[in-house]
Structure 1
Amino acid sequence: METSAKLYSLPFGNVKTYLFALLFVAGNIALPQLCHLVPTGGPTLLPIYFFTLIAAYKYGFKVGLLTALLSPVVNHLLFAMPVAAVLPAILIKSGLLAGAAALAARYAKNISLSALLGVIISYQIVGTAFEWALCDNFFLAVQDFRMGIPGMLIQWFGGYALLKAIARI
């Protein structure tokens, strides 16, 4: 399934880059707060990544990277979640997600379920390798694959639905 859409690559010199990044960071602050109302909602639903995916796919790497880096840091400063011990791994995975989503959008030139699946699988696999190197614990590093499948499915299908909904903007 593919949907044509207006996809952008906003530069750092454009005020829209920062406005969109702030909007998506706000989403990445609100969504985890909602998900943490559910037991193990964070590790299961992976909410900190959702709006990073949308930001980077729709508005390019720079908006995605700002969202990827600011979201976990602001959440940590405001709510101590994610905890400091996992913040480096989440920042790496968020940055990888921003890069993979922007790259996929650039080459796909449309909203595609297969492109989104490729983004999610690639950032998770590469991110898991980095996380394993950071924590030296394979079982902990593969937590997203052990617990986060529902979150990955939400990213895949929910991301597709939201990107379709904002396709003409």
Structure 2
Amino acid sequence: METSAKLYSLNYSNVRTYLFALLFVVGNIALPQICHLVPYGGPTLLPIYFFTLIAAYKYGFRVGLLTAILSPVINHLLFAMPSGAALPIILIKSALLAGTSALTARTLKSVSLWAILGVVLSYQIIGTAFEWAFIGNFHVAVQDFRIGIPGMLIQWFGGYALLKAIAKL
């Protein structure tokens, strides 16, 4: 289940970097608002990460990192979600997702269901370790693995489907 794809690595000097980042940030603002209509929609569906995965995999680390940083910060400023207490961990996990996604895409040069699973598990496992070190509570740190499995599945299958759909763009 591997699809060859046009993958990019845009530079900060390229205006398209900022245009694509803006597009994905808008997605990362809209999707959480929709998901928060469902009780525990944010912690269960993990929507703040979805377009960061797509941005970094398709357009490279710079677009992914801009999306990873701006999405949670703008969401916090506009809607107070994520909360100020959760913001540092979400920023760490988002940056990890941008890095692992871009590195995987650059290494494989294709879209694969197993590659996307590897990206999702990598950023979650490493991010959980950071969260545990940061807050000192293992039970809270593994929250994404306790209640966020539906969100990880959406990232895995939905991310793969969207990346496959835009593979030739």
TM-score (norm 1): 0.99
AA matched with 1:130: F
| Structure 2 counterparts to residues 18-167 of structure 1, below 5 A | 18-167=18-167
SS at match of 2:156: helix
Q: How many residues align?
A: 169
One-letter amino acid matched to 2:91: L
Q: What amino acid does structure 1 have at the position aligned with 2:162?
A: L
* Deviation string, structure 1 residues 9-29 (Cα, Å, up to 9, x no partner): 000000000000000000000
SS of the residue aligned with 2:151?
helix
1:168 corresponds in structure 2 to: 168
Which ranges of 4 or more aligned residues in structure 1 deviate by more than 6 Å? none
Distance in 1, matches of 2:111 and 2:57, equals 9
Instruction: Quote the offset at 1:59 in angstroms.
Output: 0.1
1:67 and 1:104 map into 2 onto residues whose CA distance is 17
Matched letter for residue 140 of structure 1: V
Secondary structure, in 3 states, of the residue corresponding to 1:3? strand
Q: Which deviations, in whole Å up to 9, do the C-alpha atoms of 1:78-122 show, x marking residues without a partner?
A: 000000000000000000000000000011110001111110000
Deviation (angstroms), 1:166 = 0.9
CA RMSD across the alignment: 0.4
1:111-149 C-alpha deviation (Å, 9 max, x unpaired): 001111110000000000000111111100000000000
The answer for unaligned runs of 5 or more in structure 1 is none
* CA distance in structure 2 between the aligned counterparts of 1:158 and 1:113, rounded to whole angstroms: 10
